[in-house]
Amino acid sequence: MSKNYEVEQLANQEYKWGFVTDIEADSVPPGLSEDVIRVISAKKKEPEFMLEWRLRSYRHWLTMVEPEWANVSYPKIDYNSIIYYSAPKPKKQLSSLDEVDADILETFNKLGISLEEQKRLSGVAVDAVFDSVSVATTFKSELAKHGIIFCSFSEAVQNHPDLVKKYLGTVVPYTDNFFAALNSAVFTDGSFCFIPKGVRCPMELSTYFRINSAGTGQFERTLIVAEEGASVSYLEGCTAPMRDENQLHAAVVELVALDHAQIKYSTVQNWYPGDKEGKGGIYNFVTKRGKAMRGAKLSWTQVETGSAITWKYPSCILQGDDSVGEFYSVALTNNYQQADTGTKMIHIGKNTRSTIISKGISAGKGQNTYRGLVKIMKGAENARNYSQCDSLLLGDKCGAHTFPYIEVRNSTAQMEHEATTSKIGEDQLFYMQQRGISAEDAVSMIVNGFCREVFRELPMEFAVEAQKLLGVSLEGSVG
Amino acid sequence: MLEIKDLRAKVAGADNEILKGLSLAINPGEVHAIMGPNGSGKSTLANVLAGRTNYEVTGGTVAFEGKNLLDLPPEERAREGVFLAFQYPVELPGVNNAYFLRTALNSVRKHQGLEELDAVDFLQLLRAKMKLVELPEALITRAVNEGFSGGEKKRNEILQMAVLDPKLAILDETDSGLDIDALRIVAEGVNRLKNEKHAVLVITHYQRLLEYLVPDFVHVLFQGRIVKSGGRDLALDLEKRGYAWIEEEYSAARA
């Protein structure tokens, strides 16, 4: 059983005791209106500014149309059939592993997620008998010592409304795009993280530890603020397969890195991709963006293996002089999965630098698109960008597409772009098999080799799991 | 050890057989050389023995230590101890040379009921073997064959052979494109492998390699069959007289 799973289970026990939440367990009828938004806000006991922001977002959303430019196709979403608020439901308590879905157990085993290993990999000092209360307490008191705030978004709205008010929507305004506007109107929960001036966060912040992370729902909102000179590494997601009854997920993540701050944001996304015929997978339409002030550094690393449709462009606004933006991505599509992902690097300040390393892997009938924009604004003297987009094809029914956009308005800019497309050849497989390596291991070695530049950016425990995850995700894709 | 009987094979999907009833027996400790003109079926034989999927066996049997080799997938054959040194070793970008070889060795060891080697023990073994084939240590950390020179690729094949220590090593035109030094290193590598338990099958167009790597038996492959077998002298004969006389003899015999 994965630790994450246990954390969730134990977290829900806390809900039972009324330790954290004050949300009532009920839901609103399907559909969206100003009344629904008022209900959501009231149920969450939000301050007035939050409600007004939600309503402004909603009104703006009504004027927008769903974008169709992405290289993905899916049936039209009926926004009036979605239930926009339902309180987190405690998960059913299971008495033994026998009650867990056999497929999921098998995947856990293949991923090698044992309780012990997870502990070792994530470097957590916990007792053999996992005690969520003590972990949470140790964790929170350690962070509090440094003045770090790490809590659910709802808690932040209650306990730190000034910070929320100051930074919410400053990187992704509600007017930004259709899905961001929708999220701004109806988001239910998410994560909030604040690192005060000059503080290096002493540990990697992971949603594993944000005890009441269960049931954040389909419209998740994350805001991370690092003040001057602060630094933090944040891990999102989990390699264990995530199932959810909500098909549409439209999250927003905002990163604010003030002068000389550093934020490293790592994601492993493994939402349910649908079955082999492509039925029932999750649509993951995410807006992720960070703003870097003078000398600050933003680094996005993502491993995307799940979801039926992924539509996501973690981006950097390099506003301050000497700021740095990085994007490292592995996106894998198998069966009928579609991914349209990439990044935007907006160079505004002088001497700003950005690096883009994108690795797309297509198998089965998967379609993988890299879409990226590098924009050098007029005032961005001596801006530099290096982009590398590599595609790997397994089989002949999948596709890889690359749409790099480059806009340069300052002649001192230096831009480099490299792109490759390769196929795992039968010659390569046979060569490895002739050395005693099975075809599946051979594919996973080639794929991991292909992704190495991205994996080495991941925190250790994620890197190991991500490698295994790719192997599992590609199972059955070898003739 | 290896017993090939009346083996027939063609390229999958093609009409014409390339191997048309080839028979050959190899015992432990023996070095066999197969020579023949271009198109006689030499590389087909190597690939069919190793189990490449784009060849189709249309008849005959191949037994390796009593097992039906043709029933096994390529990786099983490798784990049983059949090694093919490729004529054109492929590049594996991003796959670390040492990691690749350790994975290969451990899958073979596991199959044979031996304990898997950890990174430290393996590195020790690898360093020792690299000296034998005179490969620079820097190649350990490079990707398999990526950016290797032609000679380095061939020596890397011999390194892999030395590490995996196969029962039967098949060298498919390993000598092609090698300068005299590389040729000597390759031959020495093979000579070191040779002992009373191991056998070597050398496939070559020229007898050059056989000066360093002395075969016990030389066979001439022509039009998909072994048409002549002999000792070392046969190779020297072929060197002097070319393949034309074999052709004449063969046609005369069939007439």
Residue of B167, B182, B206, B185 whose CA lies nearest to B81: B167
Q: Which of B48, B55, B91, B92 to mutate to test the interface with A (most CBs of A within 10 A)?
A: B92
Contact between B78 and A436 using a beta-carbon 8 Å cutoff: yes
Interchain contact, A431 vs B86, CB within 8 Å: yes
In a domain, residue A84? The reply is: yes
CATH assignment of the domain containing B168: 3.40.50.300
- In this structure, is residue A67 part of a structural domain? yes
Residues contacting residue A117 through CB under 8 Å, at least 6 positions apart: none
| Cα–Cα nearest to A370, from A345, A389, A357 | A389
Q: What pLDDT, on a 0 to 100 scale, did the predictor assign at position B59?
A: 94
Of residues A430, A435, A452, nearest to B104 (C-beta): A435
Q: Is the dihedral of CA A434, A436, A440, A442 positive or negative?
A: negative
CB contact under 8 A, B75 and A449: no
Determine the length of chain A. Answer: 479
Q: Say what the pTM is.
A: 0.78
User: Among candidates A411, A328, A408, which has minimal Cα distance to A374?
Assistant: A408
Q: Where are the alpha helices (DSSP H) in A188-258?
A: none
Asked whether the beta carbons of residue B75 and residue A436 sit closer than 8 angstroms, the reply is: yes
Indicate yes or no: CB of B93 within 8 angstroms of CB of A450.
Answer: yes
- To probe the interface with A, which of B77, B95, B111, B146 has the most A CB atoms within 10 Å? B95
Domain range for A399: 3-473
Instruction: Give the percent of chain B with pLDDT over 70.
Output: 99
Check B111 against A436: CB less than 8 A apart. yes
- Interatomic CA distance for residues B220 and B210, integer angstroms: 14
Residue A416 pLDDT exceeds 90: yes
- pLDDT attached to residue A137: 56
- pLDDT > 70: percent of chain A: 78
Question: CA A20, A150, A272, A119 torsion: positive or negative?
Answer: negative
Contact B107 A437 (CB under 8 A): yes
Q: Is the pLDDT of residue B11 over 80?
A: yes
Residue A479 lies in a domain: no
How many Cβ pairs within 8 Å bridge chains A and B?
76
**The two three-digit tokens of residue A14, written as one number:** 């806390």
Between CA A337 and CA A331 the distance in angstroms is 11
B229: left (phi over 0), alpha (psi -120 to 50) or beta: beta
B54-87 pLDDT tens trace = 899 999 999 999 999 999 999 999 999 999 999 9
Would residue A71 count as lying in a domain? yes
| Within-domain flag for A346 | yes
* A182-201: pLDDT as tens digits: 999 998 888 899 999 999 99
Is the reported ipTM for this assembly greater than 0.85?
yes
In this predicted structure, the answer to whether residue B145 has a pLDDT above a threshold of 70 is: yes
CA A24 vs CA A34, A36, A43, B175: distances in Å: 20, 15, 7, 78
φ, ψ for residue A63, nearest 5 deg: -85, -5
Which of A426, A439, A449 comes nearest B92 by C-beta?
A: A449
Q: Which of A73-82, A307-316, A435-444 has the lowest mean pLDDT?
A: A73-82
Nearest CA to A319 out of A344, A343, A345, A348 is that of A348
For A40, A216, A474, the CA distances from A45, given in Å and listed in that order, are 9, 16, 45
Q: B103 is in which domain, residue-wise?
A: 2-254
* Structural tokens at position B183: 């040729």
Strand-pair category, A248-249 with A220-226: unpaired
| Structure tokens belonging to residue B42 | 């030499």
CB burial of A222-232 (b: ≥16 within 10 Å; e: otherwise) equals bbbbbbbbbbb
Burial of A26 (0-12, 13-18, 19+ CB in 10 A): exposed
